[in-house]
Amino acid sequence: MTLVAGLVMTLLCLAVVATALIGLRGLASQYNVDRIVRVTLKTIHMLKNEQIPPVLPTQGIAGLQVVRPDGSVKSSSVLLRGKPRMAVFQPPDTTVRQDMVYCDSALWPDQCMVIVAIRVYSPEGDYLIYAADPVVPWYVDPRVDLLLLLGAGLIITVTTFGTYWLVGKALRPVDAISEELATITGSELDHRVPVPKNHDEIRRLAETANATLDRLEEAVEQQRRFASDASHDLRSPLTAMRAEVESALLDVETTDWAETGEAILASIDRLQALVDDLLQIARLDSGAPGRMDPVDLGQLAATELDRRRHRVRIIRDLQPGVIIMGDRLRLARVLTNLLDNAERHANSLVIVKVYEEDLCGVLEVVDDGAGIPPDKWEHVFQRFTRLDAARSRDVGGTGLGLAIARQICESHGGTLGIEDSVKGARFVLRIPVSR
């Protein structure tokens, strides 16, 4: 950055110096010619008054000559005494003055001269006055060049150091952020990057990085909790099976092996249910899309209700023709879990409703049980959550059912939540209808 700023400034200064030199040279050349012309005007005055001295005063220019009408030199400046005329050109008849640049003159072999020729009328013929001075060089004057270069050098130095200082100051917070980010590992996600005081892009970067770290920490924590809950829940049926087998082996003769087998089978069922749920969650977490077929929500609920043996009375209120796009198997799984829960917690009645509202297919499962306190409404959708009241009732539950159900609804672009009800719990599923 600093290097680029220095380079750009150097190029810019070079361009400015070059432009300034071109402009100055133009001005200096014009001034030079004016000066030469002023000297010739004085000489004309002397010629008219017939006061031409044999040695002409040059007044600071390199050479001056007065040439007679016959071409011979009448008078010269001191350095040109006895030399031939400095130029042979003369102004055209229509003008009195002509300027020329001579680089190959015999009098000044090593330099280019600007020569001004003036025609002076007189009765015996036209006199010519030649005045010469060196052409202004491209660099104009070494003192001017020195000044320009000093100025440019100063500007380049100030810009380069200024940029270095400013960039360093501006990027110091970024360095601090990178250093902090570099120390963060999978096991140390509690670090946060320093947020600078200024309200600028770097502050926004730091805030975004911190927000991302918050989410990462939360996700990692969730995974950790999930893994530990899963292992814990997998261990319980294994422990139960081991205890069953160990106690049976203690007295092989009197053991009721059929009873032992049944107890072990119950544990295997639980293990199987748990592993199925974990697999389902892994599939949903990976974002693997399910099938997308038109599904009639009312029909799906009717089929599911017909299939089941009910412990309590069921009231159906199923509007036909509520069609959503979705995976029939996964949606059936949501319904099974909602109905399992409702029947498990209902006193005597479960109501299942399907209808359309605000372009969404809605499915409600309401029971007349003890319900769920509002502060637990979100909690029950977290993995492995089983409320204390439920633990006594639902022996086999894994606490994964509602978490899976919500994930399935969300993968269909819908929602699953608990809403107010007069009695018991009211689970409401909403998925956009297909048109």
Ligand X SMILES: Nc1ncnc2c1ncn2[C@@H]1O[C@H](COP(=O)(O)OP(=O)(O)OP(=O)(O)O)[C@@H](O)[C@H]1O
CB 421 within 8 A of CB 345: no
Q: Which partner from the list ligand X, Mg ion, none does 387 bind, CB cut-off 5 to 8 Å by kind?
A: ligand X
C-beta of 267 vs 337, nearer to Mg ion: 337
- Comparing every residue's Cβ against ligand X, the nearest one is 401
Closest approach of Mg ion to the CB of residue 342, in Å: 9
Helix (H) or strand (E) holding 315: strand 313-318
**Chain residues 382-421 in contact with ligand X, contact rule CB under 6 A:** 385-387, 390, 394, 397-403
Which residues ranging from 117 to 146 are in contact with ligand X (CB under 6 A)? none
Rounded to an integer, what distance in angstroms lies between the CA atom of residue 332 and that of residue 330?
Answer: 5
* Among 341, 342, 363, 372, interactor with Mg ion by CB under 5 A: 341
* 113 and 134 Cβ atoms separated by less than 8 Å: yes
Select 44 or 273, whichever has its Cβ closest to ligand X: 273
Based on the shown chain and the rule CB under 5 A, indicate whether residue 267 belongs to the binding site for Mg ion.
no
The residue range among 41-49, 75-83, 196-204, 379-387 that interacts with ligand X, by the rule CB under 6 A, is: 379-387
Does residue 171 touch ligand X according to CB under 6 A? no
User: What is the helix (H) or strand (E) element at residue 357, kind and residue range?
Assistant: strand 349-357
Report, in Å, the least distance between residue 410 CB and ligand X. 15
The CA distance from 367 to 234, in Å, is 30
Pick the closer one to ligand X by CB: 209 or 416. 416
Based on the shown chain and the rule CB under 5 A, indicate whether residue 369 belongs to the binding site for Mg ion. no
Rounded CA separation 361/354 (Å): 7
Nearer to ligand X, 326 or 369 (CB): 369
Written as six digits, the tokens of 7 are: 């380079």
- Both tokens of residue 13? 């200064």
Answer for which of 117, 341, 360, 407 binds ligand X (CB under 6 A) is: 341
Tokens 């009375």 correspond to what residue? Answer: 313
Residue (65 or 337) nearer to ligand X, CB: 337
Residue from the set 401, 407, 427, 433 that interacts with Mg ion by CB under 5 A: 401
Q: For Mg ion, how many residues bind (rule: CB under 5 A)?
A: 3
CA angle 222, 224, 228 (to 5 degrees): 115
> Is-contact 19 11, C-beta < 8 A?
no
Q: For 80-165, list the strands marked E by DSSP.
A: 97-102, 113-120, 127-134
Q: Are 56 and 76 in contact (CB under 8 A)?
A: yes
* Binder of ligand X out of 114, 263, 278, 342 (CB under 6 A): 342
Q: How many CB atoms lie within 10 A of CB 207?
A: 13
Residue ranges in contact with Mg ion by CB under 5 A: 337, 341, 401
Residue ranges in contact with ligand X by CB under 6 A: 337, 341-342, 345, 367, 369, 372, 380, 385-387, 390, 394, 397-403, 425
